[in-house]
Structure 1
Amino acid sequence: MNNVEQMLLPSIMVKNGVLKGCNTVFSERFGYQAQMLNGYQLKDLLTFDSADAQSYSTIEWLVQHIDKPQQGLLKNRHYYELPVEVVCQRSNVDELCYDVFFRVLEDKSLDSVTGLPNGWAMSSRANHLLTLPTKKAPQLAVIIFRVDNFSTLNFRQGYNVGDEYLETLGKKLVALFGDDYLVVRFSNAKFGILVEDYQRASKIDFETLVTNKCQAICDITKQPMQLSDNVKVHKSFSVGVSELTAKYSSYFAMEIATETAMHQAAKFSNSKFIFATSELTNKLLMRKLIIDDFPQAIAKQQITQHYQPQYCLTSKKLMGLEALSRWHHKELSHISPAFFASIAEDIGLNFEFDLYVLKQVCQQVKTWLDDGFNVPRVSVNVSFKTLEMPDFVKRVTQIIEASTCPADLIEIEVTETTSINNINNLINHVRQVKALGIHIAIDDFGVGYSSLSLIRRLHNVIDKLKLDKSLIDNLCHTEIDQEFIRHIIELGNVLGLDVLAEGIEHQEQQALLQQLGCKFGQGYFFEKPQPSAQIVNYLDNDKQHAVLKQQ
Structure 2
Amino acid sequence: MNTNEYLTALEHFIDKMQKLNYATPVQISEAMSELCCVLKIGKVELFAYENEASEHFDMPDTVCYYDCGHASDSIFISKRIVTVDENIGVYKVYIRNDVPDWTDEERSKLDTFFSVFSTFSGKFRLLKLTQHMTYFDSELNMHNLRYFMKCGKRLCKAGTIANYTAVRFNLKRFSVVNQHIGRESGSLVMKKFIGYISDLLDDENESVCRIGGDNFITLIKSYKLQNVLKILSGSGVTYDEKRNERIYISATVGVYIIQNNDTVILPTDIMDRVSLAYALAKNSAKIDIAYFDDMLLARSKRNNDITVSFPKALEEREFLVYYQPKVAINGRHVAGAEALCRWMHNGQLVSPGEFIPVLEQGRDICKLDFYMLDAVCKDIRRWLDSGKEVVRISVNLSRRHLSDMDLLKHIVEIVDRNNVPHEYIEIELTETTTDVEFKDLKRTIGGLQKTGISTSVDDFGVGYSSLNLIKEIPWDVLKLDRSLLPTENDENPLQKIVMFKYIVAMAQEMGLECISEGVETKEQLQLLADNNCNLAQGFYFDRPLPVEEFETRLNKNYVYDK
Give yes or no for TM over 0.5: yes
Residue equivalent to 1:142 = 166
Whether 1:122 and 2:139 are equivalent positions in the alignment is: no
Query: Is the 1:308–1:527 Cα contact (8 Å) retained in structure 2?
Result: yes
Q: 1:406 and 1:391 mapped to 2: Cα distance?
A: 21
Residue equivalent to 2:417 = 402
Q: 1:219 and 1:341 mapped to 2: Cα distance?
A: 26
Q: Secondary structure at the match of 1:248?
A: coil
Larger radius of gyration: 2
Residue equivalent to 1:156 = 183
Q: Which amino acid aligns with 1:177?
A: D
Query: Is the 1:10–1:24 Cα contact (8 Å) retained in structure 2?
Result: no
Query: Is the 1:145–1:237 Cα contact (8 Å) retained in structure 2?
Result: no
TM alignment of 1:199-348, pairs within 5 A:
209-211=223-225, 214=228, 238=251, 240-243=254-257, 247-250=261-264, 251-259=267-275, 276-277=292-293, 301-327=317-343, 334-337=350-353, 340=356, 344=360, 347=362
CA RMSD of the aligned region, Å?
A: 5.5
Whether 1:391 and 2:406 are equivalent positions in the alignment is: yes
Residue identity over aligned pairs, in percent, reads 23
Query: Is the 1:388–1:429 Cα contact (8 Å) retained in structure 2?
Result: no
Q: 1:375 and 1:545 mapped to 2: Cα distance?
A: 13
Q: 1:455 and 1:408 mapped to 2: Cα distance?
A: 21
Whether 1:421 and 2:444 are equivalent positions in the alignment is: no
Q: Which amino acid aligns with 1:121?
A: K
Q: More displaced, 423-432 or 499-508?
A: 423-432
Question: How far off is 1:410 after superposition?
Answer: 1.5
Query: Is the 2:486–2:496 Cα contact (8 Å) retained in structure 1?
Result: no
Q: 1:411 and 1:172 mapped to 2: Cα distance?
A: 51
Q: Which amino acid aligns with 2:166?
A: V
Q: 1:423 and 1:497 mapped to 2: Cα distance?
A: 19
Select 2:15's aligned residue among 6, 19, 31.
6
Question: How far off is 1:488 after superposition?
Answer: 3.7
Whether 1:529 and 2:529 are equivalent positions in the alignment is: no
Residue equivalent to 1:433 = 448
Residue equivalent to 2:520 = 505
Residue equivalent to 1:411 = 426
Alpha-carbon displacement from aligned partner over 1:462-518 (angstroms, at most 9, x marks no partner): 2x3322211124499623333333334444554555432211112232234223333
Residue equivalent to 1:178 = 203
Residue equivalent to 2:482 = 469
Question: How far off is 1:527 after superposition?
Answer: 1.2
Q: Secondary structure at the match of 1:120?
A: helix
Alignment CA distance shift 1:383-1:418 (3 Å): farther
Q: Secondary structure at the match of 1:187?
A: strand
Structure 1: any 5+ residue segments left out of the alignment? 13-22, 29-103, 197-206, 227-231
Alpha-carbon displacement from aligned partner over 1:126-175 (angstroms, at most 9, x marks no partner): 5446xx6xxx985443345567749959983499x88x969x97999599
Residue equivalent to 2:46 = none
Q: 1:456 and 1:211 mapped to 2: Cα distance?
A: 46
Q: Secondary structure at the match of 1:255?
A: helix
Question: How far off is 1:523 after superposition?
Answer: 0.7
Question: How far off is 1:309 after superposition?
Answer: 1.3
Query: Is the 2:459–2:480 Cα contact (8 Å) retained in structure 1?
Result: yes
Q: 1:467 and 1:338 mapped to 2: Cα distance?
A: 24
Alignment CA distance shift 1:432-1:546 (3 Å): farther
Query: Is the 2:342–2:349 Cα contact (8 Å) retained in structure 1?
Result: no
Q: 2:170 and 2:26 mapped to 1: Cα distance?
A: 34
Q: Secondary structure at the match of 1:356?
A: helix
Question: How far off is 1:236 after superposition?
Answer: 5.7
Q: 2:246 and 2:453 mapped to 1: Cα distance?
A: 55
Q: 1:458 and 1:314 mapped to 2: Cα distance?
A: 29
Q: 2:216 and 2:466 mapped to 1: Cα distance?
A: 42
Whether 1:375 and 2:390 are equivalent positions in the alignment is: yes
Q: Which amino acid aligns with 1:156?
A: R
Q: 2:429 and 2:384 mapped to 1: Cα distance?
A: 25
TM alignment of 1:191-202, pairs within 5 A:
194=219
Q: 1:215 and 1:419 mapped to 2: Cα distance?
A: 28
Alpha-carbon displacement from aligned partner over 1:384-421 (angstroms, at most 9, x marks no partner): 66467432332222112211122222222343243453
Q: 2:386 and 2:515 mapped to 1: Cα distance?
A: 29
Q: Which amino acid aligns with 1:7?
A: K
Whether 1:486 and 2:511 are equivalent positions in the alignment is: no
Question: How far off is 1:362 after superposition?
Answer: 0.8
Q: Secondary structure at the match of 1:421?
A: helix
Q: 2:419 and 2:197 mapped to 1: Cα distance?
A: 68
Q: Which amino acid aligns with 2:165?
A: A
Question: How far off is 1:353 after superposition?
Answer: 4.5
TM alignment of 1:61-100, pairs within 5 A:
none
Q: 1:171 and 1:489 mapped to 2: Cα distance?
A: 49
Q: 1:274 and 1:377 mapped to 2: Cα distance?
A: 42
Q: 1:192 and 1:495 mapped to 2: Cα distance?
A: 49
Q: 2:467 and 2:342 mapped to 1: Cα distance?
A: 30
Structure 2: any 5+ residue segments left out of the alignment? 1-9, 31-126
Q: 1:372 and 1:266 mapped to 2: Cα distance?
A: 49
Alpha-carbon displacement from aligned partner over 1:179-205 (angstroms, at most 9, x marks no partner): 5x4547363476655467xxxxxxxxx
Question: How far off is 1:374 after superposition?
Answer: 3.0
Q: Which amino acid aligns with 2:408?
A: V
Select 2:531's aligned residue among 508, 511, 516.
516
Question: How far off is 1:218 after superposition?
Answer: 7.0
Q: 2:509 and 2:398 mapped to 1: Cα distance?
A: 26
Residue equivalent to 1:94 = none
Question: How far off is 1:441 after superposition?
Answer: 3.2
Q: 2:552 and 2:414 mapped to 1: Cα distance?
A: 27
Q: Which amino acid aligns with 1:507?
A: K
Question: How far off is 1:307 after superposition?
Answer: 0.9
Select 2:376's aligned residue among 349, 352, 361.
361
Q: 1:457 and 1:11 mapped to 2: Cα distance?
A: 67
Q: More displaced, 111-120 or 485-494?
A: 111-120
Q: 1:318 and 1:369 mapped to 2: Cα distance?
A: 16
